[in-house]
Amino acid sequence: MTESTSVAIIVGSLRAASFSRKMARALMEHSPKSLSCNIVEIGDLPLYNEDLDDKPPASWSRFREEMQAAKAVLFVTPEYNRSVPGGLKNAIDVGSRPSGKSVFDGMPAGVVSVTPYKLGAFGANHALRQTFVFLNMPVMQQPEAYIGGVADLFDDNGKLTSDETAKFLDKFMKAFAKWVEMAR
């Protein structure tokens, strides 16, 4: 029996009842047994400031340790102003510093972007992918996951109600598991 691969899920929205968090939970439910997925929280991270590198805040250390324990990372994010939310960008900055000590270096990655609107959050997805080049993170190319109309996909308890989306999440997570295995 093979050991499951630890996957850190970073949710780009800080709101407790966010669509991104609901989607992250749905992705975890549709994940194959070969992946062990856990959400790594980012809401408590103070803004990155190089002056703090010598004595990092406890939350920075916690975040970095949780990321170092993971073998892959899946970002689930909303789109803010055709890009990623500030909290998510800050988490990337905290994890990639100090220079030469990035927790993301070489880590296989995937991206799911969501929006309640019809445009599908393409901008956030590709803004993240741009950072992966610098961070040396191989990212899964296909299937791409831009999920529009997310506000209509969950019930009041945060459970996914769309069979079509559930099938897509199954397909995405199986592809992500294969990608992680291949990229490690």
Q: Residue ranges of the domains in the chain?
A: 5-183
Q: How far apart are the first and last CA of the chain?
A: 18
* pLDDT averaged per 10 residues, the chain (length 184): 88 95 97 97 97 96 98 96 95 96 97 88 91 94 93 94 95 96 88
Q: Which two tokens stand for residue 162?
A: 């769309």
**8 A C-beta contact, residue 70 and residue 8:** yes
Task: Measure the CA angle with vertex 68, ends 65 and 74; round to 5°.
Answer: 110
Residue 175: closest CA among 146, 144, 150, 148: 144
CATH number among 3.30.530.20, 3.40.50.360, 3.30.200.20, 3.30.450.20, domain 5-183: 3.40.50.360
Quote the CA–CA distance of 156 and 21 in Å, as a whole number: 14
90's CB contacts (< 8 A; 6+ apart) are 42, 45, 47, 48
**8 A C-beta contact, residue 147 and residue 112:** yes
Quote the CA–CA distance of 61 and 59 in Å, as a whole number: 5
pLDDT of residue 2: 67
How large is the angle between the packed helices 86-96 and 58-69, nearest 10 degrees? 80
pLDDT of residue 146: 93
- pTM for the full model? 0.94
